[in-house]
Amino acid sequence: MPDPFRLVLDTNALLSGLANRNSASGRVLDHCENRRVVLLLSRPVQSEYRRVLGSAEMLRRNPDITQDAVELVLRRLRYVSEYLGQVRARFRFDRDRDDERFIELGIDGSASHLVTSDNDLLSLTTGHDEVARRFRQRLPGIRVVRPAAFLHEFEARSS
């Protein structure tokens, strides 16, 4: 049996998955929860999730989003994930410093996939600039894909 996919999920994909279970992101989350794939998590990534899930923008949309509601989702993710207590890798990504934590988790967690809808991150596997080259050097095997592409790959491998 091949090794399970090890994935890093960016915040957009997480939020889309929480919003709609039937969406591609929702199905990716379902695979994570049922441990068909390994979800990687670290403290910096968890903090990023926490800040966005508990942001004023989210609260404005639904005041029922409490600190406990945010915490429960994060703890559930942590419960089903492979949690890296300490991430030592450093990767400078000036275009969006907030995305560094996802890349660094990918490096230390030996991720096979970074699942994202972010064009900046998606361009890293094909780009010709210095940062894209550096990215491929640090993460030679990783695939940076949209949730739907990840599912396609996962299903093709499982069939």
Q: Catalog residues that contact another protein under the rule CB under 8 A.
A: 11-12, 15-16, 18-21, 29-30, 33, 51-53, 55-58, 61-62, 64-66, 68-69, 71-73, 75-80, 98, 117-118
Hey, what long-range contacts does 90-93 have (CB within 8 A, 24 or more apart)? 91/134, 91/135, 91/138, 92/131, 93/131
Q: How far is the CB of 73 from another protein (least distance, A)?
A: 5
What's the closest the beta carbon of residue 119 comes to another protein, in angstroms?
10
| Complex with another protein: residue 51 or 90, whichever CB lies closer | 51
Nearer residue to another protein within complex by CB, 65 or 138: 65
Compute the distance between CA of residue 123 and CA of residue 18 in angstroms, rounded to an integer: 25
Of 30 and 153, which has the nearer Cβ to another protein? 30
* Min separation Cβ 2 and another protein, Å: 25
Nearer to another protein, 73 or 89 (CB): 73
Quickly list DSSP for 99-159.
GHHHHHHHHHTT-SEEE---HHHHGGGT--SHHHHHHHHH-TT-EEE-HHHHHHHHHHHH-
Cβ at position 52, least distance to another protein in Å: 5
CA 128, CA 8: separation in Å to the nearest integer? 23
